[in-house]
Amino acid sequence: MRKNIVAGNWKMNKNLKEAKDLIKGIKKGVSSKKSKGKRVIVAPSFVNLNSAVKRTEKSIIEVAAQNMHEAKSGAFTGEVSADMLSEIGIEIVILGHSERRSIFAESNELLAKKVDTALANNLEVIFCFGESLEDRKSEKHFEVVETQLRESLFHLLKENFSNIILAYEPVWAIGTGETASPEQAQEMHAFIRQVLEKEYNKELADSVSILYGGSVKPANAEEIFSKPDVDGGLIGGASLKPKDFLAIVEAI
């Protein structure tokens, strides 16, 4: 079912001590009473996942990984498998972040495999996608987003979507301080639901949570979240300070 979700993508930030402090700060500000009906997710780096899982055990905070490899196991130096994540209590993985796509050359096709592996290992997927500035300028943004969804997700069965959270992140708004306007976010989210309805059905389109990501901060969160098809946010920079992250959680 569609939920209000705020997820913090810490990227390659925070060593163990800093990660512990950040979790402590967030924990102080979220209580199950205050956060009723909301999901609060944090995604530290691989090495800090274990500690994060232990430190959030008695809170509503959920812990996600930022990536994983598509293979079960094997000679993939430097990589981490779905099983390794599950085994330490991780139940969510972010896949397809634009930095993985652009810096590490992850394609739609590769991401389709990662999604399959994650779902087969009972991991919930936060699937990221979004157009570049060039795509938007040449008015190809709808087409690009539809292709990303089609090539990585539309081989899935309807029932798989109960384990998929979508995160629309226009690349031009990530870490740039430039946010899509609430209207631009709403327009794209509504388009995504239309595409889902066309491919599957209305019930599925209405039930998938779609997060917006790209320079969400305390000052703009409420307005973006007020849009009917925006179910929450994937937060980068502003998730690194408890005060900012908590203000965004409040805003949803």
Q: Would you tell me which residues interact with ligand PGA (CB under 6 A)?
A: 9, 169, 174-175, 213-216, 234-238
Q: Is 97 a catalytic residue?
A: yes
Of the residues 62, 70, 97, 131, only one is catalytic, namely: 97
**Judged by CB, which is closer to ligand PGA: 188, or 205?**
188
**Judged by CB, which is closer to ligand PGA: 81, or 233?**
233
CB of 216 to ligand PGA, least distance (A): 6
Helix, strand, or coil (residue 38): strand
Q: Is 250 a catalytic residue?
A: no
The Cα–Cα gap between 226 and 213 comes to 14
The Cα–Cα gap between 30 and 18 comes to 19
Q: State the residue number with the nearest CB to ligand PGA.
A: 236
Nearest partner of 46 among 74, 76, 85, judged by Cα: 85
CB of 250 to ligand PGA, least distance (A): 17
Q: Decide if 222 contacts 235 (C-beta within 8 A).
A: no
**Judged by CB, which is closer to ligand PGA: 81, or 99?**
99
Amino acid (one-letter) located at 119: L
Q: What share of the chain is helix, strand, coil (3-state, %, to 5)?
A: 50, 15, 35
**Judged by CB, which is closer to ligand PGA: 64, or 115?**
64
CB of 173 to ligand PGA, least distance (A): 6
CB of 89 to ligand PGA, least distance (A): 23
Of the residues 62, 99, 169, 189, only one is catalytic, namely: 169
Judged on CB neighbours under 10 Å (0-12, 13-18, 19+), 72 is: exposed
| Residues with catalytic roles | 97, 169
